[in-house]
Amino acid sequence: MTPGIYSFKNWLLAIRPKTLWASIAPVLIGTAMAYGDGVHHFPSAFAALLGAFFVQIGTNLANDYFDGKSGVDMPDRLGPVRVTQAGLIPPLAVKWAFIACFLIAGLVASYLVVRAGFPVLIIGILSILSGIFYTAGPKPLSHLGLGDIFVLIFFGPVAVAGTYYVQSFECNGAVIAAGFAPGLFSAAILAVNNLRDIKTDDRAGKKTLAVRFGRTFVRAEYLVCIAAGSFIPALVFLITNEFPKTLVASLVFLLLLPAINTVYTSDNGDELNAALAQTSRVLFIYAVIFSAMWVF
């Protein structure tokens, strides 16, 4: 058996920990809103976090496996090392790892289904299927330029509203609106990823929005997502006329000015990787600030 399968470092590369804030942030926001509204249920919140965490890890592993097997990932790609393409972990091991992650997510979701019913079952099934078919099948979502929509919806309002619902058995417009912030920031992370990989994706026939519409478009997409995501607290305040302190979360836009500059001026892989990581960190910072201001 390949020694790399036992390497913690290799598996850490495979799960892409810098992206995992995208699964934590919406659950944190949904839980904080449930707590602030007096309808929280912490066991369900923990289950939602665990399920979202394993769905994203499974999606990252599936992405690594299917892009490596299909030849989309090439030796000259500018992004972090992909373990399947690089031969660091046997493809079969990566395959079984993502299957295991989705099974764990399914088991966790079963508790939430028993508690909250049919809507949660639909969300769970769609989340897992989207995670698989993001890069699998003859027409993967990411190859059709639909990855941005998938990320916006499932890492945004679906995750926030779903987290709120499993605790409260209800939902409202403010929760759905709040969900668009993590969704937009996550779409911005994907935009940087697609900008970085535009050349290799084009050669591989992966028609992301960056490939379809070019660098100018995807740079504008990044800026619009960041600006719109930062505006969401104001939208939530307009809906509720409450929780004005959450407007402080909008200031995270200032933290991303260096990343915006990098996205607009650089094609360097390492620099874009740094901008991607910074955007992911700011997403989490946003979630912490918004959640704290909602609760306190």
**pLDDT (tens digit per residue) in 212-249:** 999 999 999 999 999 999 999 999 999 999 999 999 99
Question: What's the pLDDT at 41?
Answer: 96
Q: What is the pTM of this model?
A: 0.93
Domain that residue 38 falls in:
7-295
The structure tokens 């289950």 sit at: 47
Question: Is 1 among the domain residues?
Answer: no
- What pLDDT is recorded for position 78? 67
pLDDT of 1 strictly over 50: no
In a domain, 39, yes or no: yes
pLDDT of 144 > 60? The answer is yes
- Domain assignment of residue 156, yes or no: yes
In a domain, 2, yes or no: no
Q: Domain tally for the chain?
A: 1
Question: How far apart (Å, rounded) are the C-alpha atoms in residues 50 and 232?
Answer: 26
48-75: b (≥16 Cβ within 10 Å) or e: bbbbbbbbbbbbbbbbbbbbbbeebbee
DSSP characters over the chain? --GGGG-HHHHHHHH-GGGTHHHHHHHHHHHHHHHHTT---HHHHHHHHHHHHHHHHHHHHHHHHHHHHHT-S-TT--SSPPHHHHTSS-HHHHHHHHHHHHHHHHHHHHHHHHHH-HHHHHHHHHHHHHHHHTT-SSS-GGGGT-HHHHHHHHTTHHHHHHHHHHHHS---HHHHHHHHHHHHHHHHHHHHHHHHTHHHHHHHT---HHHHH-HHHHHHHHHHHHHHHHHHHHHHHHHHS--GGGGGGGGHHHHTHHHHHHHHH---HHHHHHHHHHHHHHHHHHHHHHHHHHH-
Residue 77 has pLDDT above 70, yes or no: no
pLDDT at position 73, please? 64
Task: Report if residue 100 sits inside a domain.
Answer: yes
Whether the per-residue pLDDT at 76 is higher than 80: the answer is no
Task: Grade residue 178 by pLDDT with cuts at 50, 70 and 90.
Answer: very high
- 37-51, 198-212, 217-231: least confidently modelled range: 198-212
Looking at residue 205, its pLDDT comes to 83
Q: Label residue 170 by pLDDT band (50, 70, 90).
A: very high
Residue 89 domain flag: yes
pLDDT band at 74 (very low <50, low <70, confident <90, very high): low
Q: Mean pLDDT of all residues in the chain? A: 92
Q: What is the pLDDT of residue 162?
A: 96
Of 8-17, 78-87, 128-137, where does mean pLDDT reach its minimum?
78-87
In a domain, 216, yes or no: yes
- Please tell me the predicted confidence (pLDDT) of residue 81: 83
Check: CB of residue 261 under 8 Å from CB of residue 2. Answer: no
Q: What is the mean pLDDT of residues 87-109?
A: 94
Q: What band does 70 get if pLDDT is binned at 50, 70 and 90?
A: confident
In this structure, is residue 32 part of a structural domain? Answer: yes
Do 246 and 233 contact (CB within 8 A), yes or no? yes
| The pLDDT of residue 166 | 96
**What is the predicted pLDDT for the residue at 134?**
85
